[in-house]
Structure 1
Amino acid sequence: MIDLNADLGEGFGRWSLTDDEALLSVVTSANVACGFHAGDPSTMRRVCSLAAERGVRIGAQVSYRDLAGFGRRAMDVPPDELADEIAYQIGALQVFARAAGSRVSYVKPHGALYNRVVHDNEQAEAVVSGVLRAGAICDGPLPLLGLPGSRLLAVAEGVGLPVVTEAFADRAYTWAGTLVPRRDPEAVVHDPEQVIARAVGIARDATVTAVGGEPVSVQARSLCVHGDTPGAAQLAWRVRGALASAGVRVEAFS
């Protein structure tokens, strides 16, 4: 059994990057951009409404304040400021989730922040603090979605927050089980057949092939297919079909 998630709502104003409606017919969890790396109020409202209609779980995809760089540029944000910005983003999305008759069910960092909190304890603590600050407007502690073995998940578990381990079918891995940095030309897996095979391997065998060719153990409860990949919706359908054929049930994490 595995959850299938995608990054959605990644547009701004007249600019649109993700095929939200098509992807919401496939995924079980939607990581919705909250306005800091992408997303605007109308986009957030629309995606939350569609997700609620289709029974897709809504997650807050929080990031550094970096619209120009799509949240993928390294930034140094003071911990208290970052915690406030995390809480702010969750609160903004919760307004639209509630208006749609749903709620924010989990939090996932995006881009540079996601990679930073794999190793940076201070920034990980700031993200967790932000999630805790938003707890007053959420139905209990929000689970954090992140990389297995990351400081983020360790810090979250230390304060009693639920955690959900995540893997990527379309991202390259190092021998250490971390993601290859985006600046590396091998960071993204573009071949659909390879993405599908990796998805099945992760879900069924808990392994993925690293860039050096060696198998790496990846224990994941949720599998991500990036929404900004060309043809993402069609690829997500193929991934879901392949998982079903391999005896893997696609279901939102509890």
Structure 2
Amino acid sequence: MADPSHRRARRRGGRTPIAAAVLVGLVLVLGLVITAIRPAWHVDPISWKLPERSMPMRTMPVPDQSGQQTAATPNAPTSGGVDLSWMRWVGLGLLIAAVAVVITVIVARLLALRRMQADQPDTEIDVVEITPDLPTLQQGAATAEERLLAVGNPTDAIIAAWMALEEAAEASGVPRQPAQTPTEFTADVLGRTGVAAEPVQTLLGLYLRARFAAVPSSGADLDRARDCIRELAGSWQAFADGKTETATTGGDPG
């Protein structure tokens, strides 16, 4: 009978995506530059009006101080406002500087995190496999054998015997995983006791055929199921006797 086994899992730190952060920052800077340099989008509306004929305007003569009339002259164009186009480039420079600062901070933090992970040693996690309660399984095997003898129909008898083992597995103290079916859980619990895999698999195959096959189980199947249960019970009893003898020998004075 095998003792409870331990499984070890190694956890390692992963690499930090520093290059991805730098690439994202460069793309942002390039997008800002393109946005600032390209001209603004402008779409002229479609006009459906026909052009009007312009009529020449007649100007009235304006008398001057000497009394002579002179033609009116149009107003002279006024000069334009202050040129503020340089503020656009100043704003672009500030945005690029801000993005560069953010990228620098992110890269520095990622490098620091990577150094911390490199300094940490690899850790090992011990996962203890729980051993089921042996007396509970022994009682389940005894109940299963009683059902094999009590039920007359071999198909119903084999199904009832496996149900007794399922009930014992549920009460053995081993937690059932959410993804496990009752049948898978029972086979897993029986395998944790260190018994040979052959009687467990044979008994499981007899149960599945009795439950789902169109052909009913035979008397030979009933005898094989009884032999498997007796083999399991005998292995558990031998293991229990060995543990008792070891405890008694270890307790004697040297």
**TM-score (normalised: structure 2):** 0.23
Specify which structure has the higher proportion of helix. 2
Name the one with the larger strand percent: 1
Q: Normalising by the residue count of structure 1, what TM-score does the alignment of the two structures yield?
A: 0.23
Structure of higher CA gyration radius: 2
